[in-house]
Amino acid sequence: MNGIATTERKKRSRKAAFYATEKPVISSNNEVVFNCQAVLPPCSITYLLDTNGSVEIGSSGRGDNFDGIQDIELIKHEYQPSKRYEIGISQTIGKNDRMQDTANVLGELFPNIDIIGIFDGHNGEEAARYCLISMKNEFNCLNPKDCEHQLPQIFESIHNNISSQTISGTTASICIIRSDDVVLAHVGDSPIYFYENGHLTRMTQNHSATFEKERIIASGGKVINIKGVDRVNGQINLSRSLGDKLLQPPLTYKPDISIHSLSMKYIVIVTDGVTDSLSFNRDSEMEIILSQPLSPDQIAATIRNNAFINGSVDNISVIVIQII
């Protein structure tokens, strides 16, 4: 089991941070293929994971006056690309003062099995960091043919290992792409979407104190409204997470699980740094972006940048998987 390193961090003002425009994507002919058109904080990066390997295609780097080495470590990751699907990953610390999002891709963990997930940490980055560095170990015991029945035990194992080391918590939204279908498993409010036939459909339900009020009360908890937001025991608006040992129960780590055929063009996973800043009706920004002739990394970066420009104050992470 990998340990979680807890590091004291200097507080820094986002106003004082060094901002730099992310470099455009340049073709072999020195032509600008795609320009993200956003001025991003130093802890920002975009990857294209093609079927031949992982390529970093854009990064705003680390400014001389930026002390977020721990933040950079959360997004500078050697992914294990899929041999079947191109995948774009785009992340930024955004206007927050620390990075608590992580994302991971375990391509071909088993033959024709790709496991992809996003984790949005809170009360510290330790829980999300654990999911990043230990995801492969936790899923090595998976039986791909029967994973929907094993996933509750895997989520329980991850939760217990996090809780043995930290009081922080994290959402978890995971796709297990098999030969003919995809299994979704999630806790928290990092939604998974399918884009098919020009339409964007949310495939997961946010686990909130409002949505699961009856279960929370039945588990001995309280739902207290603070400034218009329902919170479990007056503290957290999520009703499910990994970690958060001081609130479990009434929080629970048990995931929602569903199985879907691979008929969609894209699978998109985002953190609430996106959904808190963009609308998601039929004419939403994300649906429009997905309709454009862009590669998965360009789509992911464009969604991220639109969230940042449209006022998101949180970390922002986006994964786009091109299925068709």
The string of DSSP letters for 128-168 reads: HHHHHHHHHHHHTT--GGGHHHHHHHHHHHHHHHHHTT-S-
Q: Which two tokens stand for residue 232?
A: 């479990």
Q: Are 188 and 270 in contact (CB under 8 A)?
A: no
| Predicted TM-score (pTM) above 0.75 | yes
Q: What mean pLDDT do residues 87-104 have?
A: 92
The full DSSP string for 101-126 is: EEEEEEEEEETTEEEEEEEEEESSSH
Q: How confident is the model at residue 311, as a pLDDT?
A: 83
Cα dist. 82→110, 135, 193, 264 in Å? 11, 16, 19, 17
Confidence of residue 6 (pLDDT cuts 50, 70, 90): very low
Half-sphere exposure of 102 (CA within 13 A, CB side): 29
Is the pLDDT reported for residue 60 higher than 60? no
pLDDT, tens digit, 9 for 90 and up, residues 263-295: 999 999 999 999 987 665 544 788 888 988 889
If you average pLDDT over every residue of the chain, what do you get?
A: 84
Is the pLDDT reported for residue 68 higher than 80? no
pLDDT, tens digit, 9 for 90 and up, residues 147-198: 989 999 999 999 999 999 999 999 999 999 999 999 999 999 999 999 999 9
10 Å Cβ neighbour count for 194?
20
Sequence spans of domains, the chain: 41-205+255-322
Q: What mean pLDDT do residues 59-71 have?
A: 48
41-205+255-322 CATH: 3.60.40.10
Nearest to 151 by CA among 24, 260, 258: 258
The dihedral built from the CA positions of residue 50, 316, 130 and 255, taken in this order, carries a sign that is: negative
pLDDT above 90 as % of the chain:
61
Q: Which residue has the higher pLDDT, 24 or 151?
A: 151
Is the pLDDT reported for residue 3 higher than 50? no
Q: What mean pLDDT do residues 114-138 have?
A: 95
